[in-house]
Amino acid sequence: MGDHDVSPNPKGSFRKFLEQLSGAGKAIGVLTSGGDAQGMNAAVRAVVRMGIYVGAKVYFIYEGYQGMVDGGSNIVEADWESVSSILQVGGTIIGSARCKDFRSREGRLKAAHNLVQLGITNLCVIGGDGSLTGANIFRKEWSGLLEELAREGKISTEEVEKHGYLNVVGMVGSIDNDFCGTDMTIGTDSALHRIIEVVDAIMTTAQSHQRTFVLEVMGRHCGYLALVSALACGADWVFLPESPPEEGWQENMCIKLSENRARKKRLNIIIVAEGAIDTQNKPITSEQIKELVVTQLAYDTRVTILGHVQRGGTPSAFDRILASRMGVEAVVALLQATPETPACVVSLSGNQAVRLPLMECVQMTQEVQKAMDERRFKDAVRLRGRSFENNLNTYKRLAIKLPDSQIPKSNCNVGVVNVGAPAAGMNAAVRAAVRVGIADGHKVFAVYDGFEGFAKGQIKEIGWADVGGWTGQGGSILGTKRTLPGKYLEDIAAQMRIHGINALLMIGGFEAYLGLLELSAAREKHKEFCVPMVMVPATVSNNVPGSDFSIGADTALNTITDTCDRIKQSASGTKRRVFIIETMGGYCGYLANMGALAAGADAAYIFEEPFDIRDLQSNVEHLTEKMKTTIQRGLVLRNESCSENYTTDFIYQLYSEEGKGVFDCRKNVLGHMQQGGAPSPFDRNFGTKISARAMQWISTKLKESAGRGKRFVSDDSVCVLGISKRNLLFQPVAELKKETDFEHRIPKEQWWLKLRPLMKILAKYKASFEVSDAGQLEPVQPRGPEEPATI
């Protein structure tokens, strides 16, 4: 917290970090350009604060490139407080505009003149591929433009020498997620939030009237939003520019819709990207689709065009954290750049911040368009990247059921069980598991009420249609309990025997992990447990060893962030007030730490970083200083089990006493609202994809032993499936044991502790922050054998 900062890297690296990265004497210009996207403000805030933190000057360039060309009051130095309270605001506070002037050399000459006068030779551009391409042209022409200005006598030859080269770092802000090389662009997750909110609302009315809805979402050249929202809501049909429907789709679609109606499904949802086309590159419009359904099937059909709603609203927690990480990384990249460094984009690969060569990404993005124009649709999908391809394949498997006669039977029975506390997204995971299981020829059995229900025989076969409409439901429909299997081993083994269960898929949190260990230890005694068993992590606490993320944590994080936004608003009304908020998570500080980063908190107390009275004291002093500025409010998060004695009440009383006359205090315990609510788009998709993958693993294992009645006794037949850095990994529980702190129910190593200094720096504390290696540009999309953890 204070000066004795306990962070995951050795003391020495702090000095090295500051010397390596002094921004003294440097000036950075930050601009947002092109269409706006939620989260741009979080990126601007991170660039400004990180820039000031390392000693650079940071300038706002208002109205994108137009402001750079016009100069004057459009380029203004920013200070710490100029980016206060913008984290939760959608759009961009520095404005964005499409700019004709910058496309001409005269325009760029004016822009160069305006920048040189302020000594700005570092640009951070937040926008789409057009904006980034413009920045790269500008960078290449820079020295020529300066020479021309010197010839015209507008600047001196010394200035040409001094400001000889321009560094450019880009961040992709675009709700379409249409930029190759990046898993997620800033704004995509928030746009999905808007779409899913609408779909959830439409589903209730369509359910009442037995209607068909055609929903048009944004994406002129990219079907990402359409595809992922179709995956997240289990839509009946989806139209994408990259993957047009085959000839005769009209008939196929109508058959599919009527089959679904025959299965007692009261509503149909069809999602259309605004750029949808057929195989002849002719547009497919939402009106056309409506006409088709009305004339062929006579269903009551409505069209809803979402339009600019998708760009609006507050950024999601994911976008705020993404943009904050990217903004800090962008400043680091600018400070490490040399005249030889090509322009780069900072981006996310799996869970890692990476830098990629800007022009290669732009070229690849243009390749996709070219492939689509030339009707090479397979190539278009491939070039979009593996996450797009995986999404498309998963959607197809889960949306369309083959007739039973066409599914080869495996004669295997697979059990699916929920264990632990409820987490949003569990039902999406169950749905995916059931459908992939059925498509692979298994019978799938649902186990109700966790291991307790398992022991009592609350087990029923579950069909394809039984899980329809489950993706958007919060909680756990199968029911879940924290009870461990240890005391019911006899009964559970008997039930496995009675139902002939050949494999188990568990969806749950730390209890599921412990349960898996207990079942695996009981294999010697009970041969029934000698079957493939896999666990999919689902808990708001995100404390399962073997995975960076767990289903439900994103939804909880959004709940915390929304609540903090409201609380900040109330605090800024009263002035000089500090709120202390207690979050869930057991001993795991993930929610408190990431919630603090997403909500712009002043401090977060977590178990993983021990703190004492001196830290509390220094935080109070920090807040006292803050109250003298224009930002007269404070927000402090505390994880529920971060300290036995420094309870939320204790901290509240300490702050109240110490802050007397300077600020007053309020406290708030968020409690179980963090476990409830409809799952976020991230959790629906993550749950769907990871659970489908787990069922595929089970099928592969069962195929290997087909007909041989093989017993599974090796460690690699009891696994946790998780995301680790960039890859999806199946890790044997036996190996994960040594990475687990069982007393506190957390993994010994946690990746997000590396982001802790980030939160402190953005809250104006000194902290040691590990930076990535200088100038390490990665190739765009290496195609290795490992599975990418695309989210």
* Residues tagged in the binding site annotation: 35, 98-99, 128-131, 174-176, 211, 218-220, 274, 302, 308-311, 482, 539-543, 577, 584-586, 640, 666, 672-675, 745
Token pair of 472 as six digits: 């958007």
What DSSP string describes 353-419? EEEEEHHHHHHHHHHHHHHHHTT-HHHHHHHH-HHHHHHHHHHHHHH-PPPGGGS-----EEEEEEE
Token pair of 94 as six digits: 């520095």
* Spatial separation of the C-alpha atoms in residues 545 and 749, rounded to whole Å: 9
Q: Which residues contact 438 (CB under 8 A, 6 or more apart)?
A: 401, 407, 444, 463, 464
**Smallest Cα–Cα separation from 449: which of 473, 494, 485, 503?**
485
Count how many residues are written for the chain.
791
Token pair of 120 as six digits: 């700005």
One-letter amino acid of 58: V
The annotation places the binding site for Mg(2+) at 129
* Spatial separation of the C-alpha atoms in residues 85 and 564, rounded to whole Å: 12
The annotation places the binding site for ATP at 35, 98-99, 128-131
Q: How many CA atoms lie within 13 A of 573 on its CB side?
A: 6
Examine the residue annotation and report whether 715 is marked as an active-site residue of this protein. no
Dihedral sign from CA coordinates of 240, 244, 246, 251: positive
Burial of 211 (0-12, 13-18, 19+ CB in 10 A): middle
Secondary element (H or E) of residue 709:
none
DSSP 787: P
CB 587 within 8 A of CB 623: no
**Smallest Cα–Cα separation from 45: which of 30, 56, 57?**
30
* Spatial separation of the C-alpha atoms in residues 621 and 613, rounded to whole Å: 12
DSSP 186: B
The rounded Cα 744 to chain-centroid distance in angstroms is 27
CB 225 within 8 A of CB 217: yes
Selected catalytic residue, list 36, 70, 176, 615 = 176
* Spatial separation of the C-alpha atoms in residues 601 and 592, rounded to whole Å: 10
Instruction: Give the CA angle between residues 455, 446, 714 to the nearest 5°.
Output: 70
Ramachandran angles phi, psi of 527, nearest 5° = -65, -20
127 bridge partner residues: 172
Taking the C-alpha atoms of 391, 395, 396 and 402 in order, what is their torsion angle to the nearest 10 degrees?
Answer: 140
The annotation places the binding site for beta-D-fructose 2,6-bisphosphate at 482, 539-543, 577, 584-586, 640, 666, 672-675, 745
Secondary element (H or E) of residue 668:
strand 664-669
Q: Which residues contact 528 (CB under 8 A, 6 or more apart)?
A: 492, 493, 494, 496, 497, 501
The rounded Cα 337 to chain-centroid distance in angstroms is 28
Q: What is the CB neighbour count within 10 angstroms for residue 106? A: 10
Q: What is the CB neighbour count within 10 angstroms for residue 153? A: 7
Q: What is the CB neighbour count within 10 angstroms for residue 497? A: 12
Dihedral sign from CA coordinates of 486, 491, 494, 499: negative
Query: CA-CA distances (angstroms) from residue 763 to 150, 584, 630?
Result: 42, 22, 15
Catalytic positions are 176
